[in-house]
Amino acid sequence: MGQIGCRVLGVVGEHEIAASRSFDPGQEVGGAGDGCAPSHQHAVHVEEEVFTGHRCNATARQPCARRGRLARTTFASSMTFTLAAMSSRRERLRASTIEEIRSAALRRIAEHGATALSIRGVARDIGMSPAGLYRYYDGLDALLTDLITDAYTDLAVAVEDAVSIDGPADERFVAGAMAYRRWALLYPNRFLLIFGTPIPGYVAPEGGPTVAANRRMGEAFFEVAAEGWRRGEMSAPALRRDVAPGERALADEIGQLAPGFPAHLVPTLIGAWAHFHGLVTLEILNQLHWMYPHPEAFYRGEVERMVAGLTV
């Protein structure tokens, strides 16, 4: 008959041990010096069935019965560590593959436009089958949603970092608008993906991640306005029309940070964003270079002029 493996797990003194040996079926194990259950009184346990599917005999089990829980805990801890390491490695590989997919998709958008983006084309670019790519994205809409959300989030972080300076509202507004332009020039294809021509057939999930990421970018500027209002740094020019419902709703939202924030200041804020956003878009599309080969000074001047109309 063949031999059966018997795994020994336990503690000798203050040291963990994990030894193994083989024995013939029916052979008694557990005696002194047999390597499976030493005769000393330290905690040692013969693990059963986990490794071999067979039980060590009663002679082996008996000395360990009182301390089996400790040995099993040692084994469980080892297995937990191993599984955690494997899971961590899988997560790193998955994150790396997702980043590779995103990069390939953005290259295709840069070369052929967003309307030419396809799951099959991206999969071919990274040497993966289309079926394999579906393990990471449910379809083209899911990939686009991820790309758009990621772009909005990166832009929001750039603006948030810029406006976090300690200073009056006008300086913080200018810093945020300059960061907006820098990000757009660094990532023109991502900027046009989120603000350019709509992609036929794509509809962002209602209340989904793209909406939340877009709001985050706007909130960075609105928080500056709220703090500026609390400090008395914001002006409130008169509005020559009725306040729109959306403007009042946004004013109420900003008012949670700055009580009394006037609704007629909201269109001034939105208009300022539309102004510098339009300038950035024109620059990316090379529509300013005929007049301003290096548009930064022109852009900054326009931003400072707009901010002067918002602050006191």
pLDDT score at 83: 59
Q: What is the C-alpha radius of gyration for the chain, rounded to an integer number of angstroms?
A: 33
pLDDT for the residue 85: 66
pLDDT given for residue 105 in this prediction: 92
| Euclidean distance between CA atoms 147 and 162, whole angstroms | 23
Cβ atoms 311, 234 nearer than 8 A: yes
Cα 217 from chain centre = 16
Span 107-120, pLDDT tens digits: 988 888 888 888 99
Written as one letter, the residue type at 253 is E
Q: How far is CA 235 from CA 167, 175, 223, 272, 307, in A?
A: 17, 19, 15, 14, 10
* Cβ-based neighbours of 227, under 8 Å, separated by 6 or more: 169, 257, 258
* Owner of token pair 């602050």: 311
Structure confidence at residue 79 (pLDDT):
58
Domains of the chain: 4-77 (no CATH), 138-308 (1.10.357.10)
For residue 297, the one-letter residue type is A
Backbone angles phi, psi at 173, to 5 degrees: -60, -45
Predicted pLDDT at 113: 80
Res 39: pLDDT: 37
Cβ distance 61 to 46 under 8 Å? Answer: yes
DSSP 8-state code for residue 65: G
Residue 210: closest CA among 230, 190, 235, 225: 190
How far is Cα 99 from Cα 108, in angstroms, rounded to an integer? 14
- % residues pLDDT > 70 (the chain): 72
pLDDT, residue 288, reads: 94
Strand partners, 47: 7
Do residues 108 and 119 lie in contact, with contact meaning Cβ atoms separated by under 8 Å? no
- The pLDDT value recorded for residue 136 is 92
**Residues in the chain, pLDDT under 70:** 1-86
